[in-house]
Amino acid sequence: MTTEASHPSEPHVGSLNNKLNWLRAGVLGANDGIVSVAGIVIGVAAATIDRGHILTAGIAGLTAGALSMALGEYVSVSTQRDTEMALLAKERRELAEEPEAEFNELVGLYEAKGLSPETARSVAEELTERDAFAAHIDIELGIDPDELTNPWHAAISSAVSFTVGAMLPLLAILLPPPSARIPITFVAVLIALGITGWVSARLGGADPVRATQRVVIGGALAMAVTYAIGRLVGGVV
């Protein structure tokens, strides 16, 4: 009975890690949207009670933040993808030009993992006969050519996650009456940050309590600073 037949629906480790990384990035993007727009709207609300001014500032912050996140992710992932493609092309070229040297390198890599020389050579021979390129990129580069990250997907995901997060403080500041806007927004944002901090920590395998405390305290400080600036500027103007 083979392992492949025993668990046909079980995800590969690499694929699962990629999905968890995407999910964690989405949570962190939402967290950025919450903190960024909360800081903007609380600062403006501290300076004026005009709903139109608060809405304009919030929408501008949301749009700028989402576009910035999308552009940053697109550039970052495009660079990563270009690097991975160059490494794959280099490996393919080396296999074509120096197959024997590449085979000996593969044997050495398996020996470094703890296999005996005989077993390492046997494994390398079998994998090379099946697919030499796949065998080399798996152990040397850890890259799956069928799962290269799409920069457009990364950009859209970042923009969407930021926008979703940013909607919370924007709605929280606009819907309540002027006297309750800032307290309600402050509490709603801290609760949301606690949730995103806990989720991102769990996905990353970190201590959720400490991670949540850092995120919540950081968000509270950011809102306190922008509130103080808003009060100061509003009083001067």
Model confidence pLDDT, tens digit, residues 177-223:
999 999 999 999 999 999 988 988 887 778 889 889 999 999 999 99
In a domain? residue 155:
yes
pTM of the model: 0.76
In a domain, 102, yes or no: yes
Looking at the 3D structure of the chain, how many domains does it have? 1
pLDDT of residue 20: 59
Query: Would you say residue 90 has pLDDT above 70?
Result: yes
Classify residue 104: in a domain, yes or no: yes
Residue 150: DSSP 8-state: P
Assigned domain for 113 exists = yes
pLDDT (tens digit, 9 = 90+) per residue, 26-47?
788 899 999 999 999 999 999 9
* For the ranges 99-113, 144-158, 198-212, 216-230, the one whose mean pLDDT is highest: 216-230
211 found inside a domain: yes
Q: Which domain holds residue 53?
A: 13-236
Helix ranges, the chain (H): 3-6, 13-47, 51-97, 99-112, 117-136, 151-174, 181-204, 208-236
Compute the distance between CA of residue 219 and CA of residue 34 in angstroms, rounded to an integer.
Answer: 9
Answer for the pair 51, 177: CB distance below 8 angstroms, yes or no: no
% helix, strand, coil for the chain, step of 5: 90, 0, 10
